[in-house]
Amino acid sequence: MARRQGKEVEMQLSPDSVYGYQFEIVDAERGTTGNVYDEGRRSINLDNSMKDRPGAATAFKDKEWNKCRIECRGDWIGTWVNGVACADVHDSMVLRGIIGLQVHNVPPGSDSPIGYGFGTSASRTSLTRLVATSPAG
């Protein structure tokens, strides 16, 4: 069974769950790291054309440090893995929410290609607030 983890973006909270857009991180063999998964609602990857983008399916490297970028502007979410453009999603179901880190479905002692045992690591994580610009005129 493939293991998954994700970086939650524009998520919503309910009393006993979190749902919304998730930056997908899976083993390299699946080739979908960088897609945007709709966690807890539609339960699908939202960018069906990501597999056709040059290098997107092979950008993620198992058990190595990977540089991931997520950019959200209005109804658009764009993602990059190791500098390679991956997802390009327009979806207006949620335009605001929380940001979180998640690891799930990795049992203790597992030798998951993405889980580094029972966990994951993040280094040099940063958030940048994007400033809206006015049209010239």
CATH code of residue 90? 2.60.120.560
Q: Is 130 exposed, middle or buried (0-12, 13-18, 19+ CB in 10 A)?
A: exposed
- The CA-CA-CA angle for residues 70, 113, 2, to 5°, reads 85
Per-residue pLDDT of the chain (137 residues; tens, 9 = 90+): 344 455 556 566 677 777 889 999 888 889 999 999 998 899 999 999 999 999 999 999 988 889 999 999 889 999 999 999 999 999 999 888 888 777 666 666 666 555 444 456 778 888 888 887 655 54
Q: What is the pTM of this model?
A: 0.78
Cα–Cα distance between 10 and 20 in angstroms, integer? 6
Instruction: Determine, yes or no, domain membership for 79.
Output: yes
- Residue 72: in which H helix or E strand, if any? strand 68-73
**How many whole angstroms separate alpha carbon 11 and alpha carbon 98?**
5
Whether 75 is covered by a domain: the verdict is: yes
Report if residue 125 sits inside a domain: no
**Alpha helices, DSSP H only, in 21-70?**
none
Which strands make up the sheet holding 36-39, listed edge to edge?
36-39, 17-26, 4-14, 98-104
Range of the domain at 93: 4-104
